Chain A
Amino acid sequence: MKIIIDPTSTTDPYDNVTEITADSEDANFPIENTRDDFTTNLWKAASGVTVATITLVVSKGSAVEVLNTNATSVTVTVGTGGDYDPETGFEPETGFEFESGVAVTTVYSLPGTGGRLWADYTEITYPHIITIQLTAAATVCAGIVRAGNVEEFNDPMYNFGEDSLDYSIERELNNGADYFRKRNVVRQFDNLQMIETRANCFTFKHSIFDYVGPKPLAIRLVHNKITDDEFILFAKRTDSPKITFDCGASKGRLRFGLREVI
């Protein structure tokens, strides 16, 4: 299980993005909308723009999450900035060298509706730039962008469950037929458990979930044996995680639940 959060950050939303820009933007749907806690509060490119790039400056980190995008293809490029070629006659002082700026590019395919992207990259411990080029069939949009430090834990043990909270309206018509109006459906995960070191249990509970409370976080619920996009979440804890010390002196058992947000 991975969570994008910097427990040392004191700035909402507690990741490591220090700057975010988009090369196209509908004034009614600014890029800042991707930084709030609502997956349905969208950033949209200008009307008719189907290819747009989001650029992030990230202080440190190893992953980026994009949620609720209509993109069918996403190209994520991670680098440390532009290349530097010293003018003739100049060279760095002894002990210093120019950063190569070599970028790593990865292309992802998404479904085109409600898309979920989690892109891991080799950890960079200093400021770097992430560009996310999104390509969609219509005006491109996205709901959430988070990037930065990843706190990693064991995957939850088997036997956890997924159900849904459906906000649709359903009523009986006079002849017994069904009337419905589809509304948002969010997923809930319960019976989540994992055995972790005592230190990780404290990090998980104290430094992350007790720290942010009901605030939703970018989470990859399962990442080792299963890599399905379905386990990429933007979710809040349903109840505060509980630690049970029943696994010996060095380990504890974490029990918790998660619920996606709208």
Chain B
Amino acid sequence: MLLVEITINAVVNYVSAEGHALTHNWIPRIIDFDKPVLSIPSNHGGYAKMSFGSIVFNPLLFQNDWPPPVSCAIGIYYTDTTEAARETVFTGIAHLNKFDREQIVYSLYGPSYDEVITSTTAYNDTLNNVMDAILTAIPEITSVDTTYARAASPNVTYTVPDDILAIDLASDIAEFYSHLFYVSGSTAYLVDMLLDNGTDKTLTEFQYFAYPVYWYNVIAVVYASQYYQKSAYPYGNTMSVTAYHTTQVNIEAALLNILNIENAARITFDYPMIAGNFPNPGQRIDIPDTAHVANLSSYIRARRLTYDFINNSITIEGEGVISAG
């Protein structure tokens, strides 16, 4: 159940797509809701950020507040059972995009981090420590959890050439060292792209929809200035990245990880949106698949999650391993 609290002229309104009589009366006033997407900036890591589109309301929601206000505080939640058990999907601002006689369209804007790391700031420390230094400079982030970061945290040697947003610098450095991070509450979670984040989840064929798609990218070579790593696929694409180290061996080690992740098998599949089916980025998910000429047994680590609250499904994409089952 999609539940939305929208504050219209200082009054909280409880609305939903279908109408749910829970503790509050979540009246049906949502016509459509773009699928939020939690994704990282590249296949090899970075800041896992939720992006939102628009939410479309029935004009009846605003019949006593006409015309609709330009901006409203909004909270979006999901629950399978009770209002008390709801999970927060999004809190932020809904800004009026457009309206006509049939629908009111609001664009959604989440929190933004505007702290800046100034030029000439120099880093020469482990990735874990550098990420901690950068991210905790953002007041909304008070700690960095490195439980699932790489055991031997790689060294970062880098001097910031120009002023840059802290969140962007953190994302770029994590990406180069094949890590992702996401923010939950006031904690940033740093996760190695080569490791599983938390407990694995194994699905049966009763638990996901037909038909998963198995696919590949092909990268021939990854460059970082004069350094590079080549794959076994010379016909593939070329990729360039920015190095966050000055030593060849460190840079080439990072490039090799990037190359392997970029060329790994990828799987995309849908499964039902129910409690327990909201994986964290990096969580490993195993799926059997007996619908082919021979059975498959595969896994991916969740990298891109698309939430369809209207049709109650989640699309998961990630890289992993495809094996005969």
Contact = CB atoms under 8 A, between A and B. Distances in A.
B208 A44 contact: no
A171 B209 contact: yes
Interface residues of A, number: 23
B312 A174 contact: no
A44 B22 CA distance: 11
B99 to A, nearest CB: 20
Contacts of B163: none
A192 B7 CA distance: 44
Given A29-B25, A262-B28, A173 B209 contact: yes
B27 A38 contact: yes
A27 B205 CA distance: 45
A172 B28 contact: no
B24 interface: yes
Interface in B191-228: 205-212
A174 B289 contact: yes
B210 A169 contact: no
A149 to B, nearest CB: 26
Main secondary structure of the interface of B (DSSP, over half): loop
B205 A175 contact: yes
Interface residues of B, number: 27
A153 to B, nearest CB: 31
Interface stretch (A84-92, A119-127, A176-184): A176-184
A35 to B, nearest CB: 14
A168 to B, nearest CB: 10
Contacts of B269: 174
Given A38-B28, A175-B205, A181 B19 contact: no
A44 B289 contact: no
B28 A176 contact: no
B290 to A, nearest CB: 7
Given A40-B19, A169-B311, A175 B291 contact: yes
B19 A175 contact: no
Interface in B14-28: 14, 18-19, 21, 23-25, 27-28
B36 interface: no
Contacts of A38: 19, 27-28
A65 B180 CA distance: 59
Interface of A is mostly: loop
B262 to A, nearest CB: 27
Contacts of B75: none
A77 interface: no
Given A29-B25, A41-B25, A41-B27, A179 B209 contact: yes
A219 interface: no
Contact of A175 (B28, B270, B272, B290): B290
Interface string B133-147: 000000000000000
Contacts of B287: 174
A177 B25 contact: no
B210 A174 contact: yes
Nearest to A177: B206
A169 B54 CA distance: 22
- Interface pairs A-B: 4 shortest CB-CB: A175-B205, A174-B205, A40-B19, A172-B210
6 contacts: A42-B21, A173-B207, A173-B208, A174-B269, A177-B205, A177-B206
Given A42-B21, A177-B205, 16 more contacts: A28-B14, A41-B28, A42-B25, A141-B21, A172-B210, A173-B206, A173-B208, A174-B205, A174-B209, A174-B210, A174-B212, A175-B206, A179-B209, A181-B272, A181-B312, A262-B19
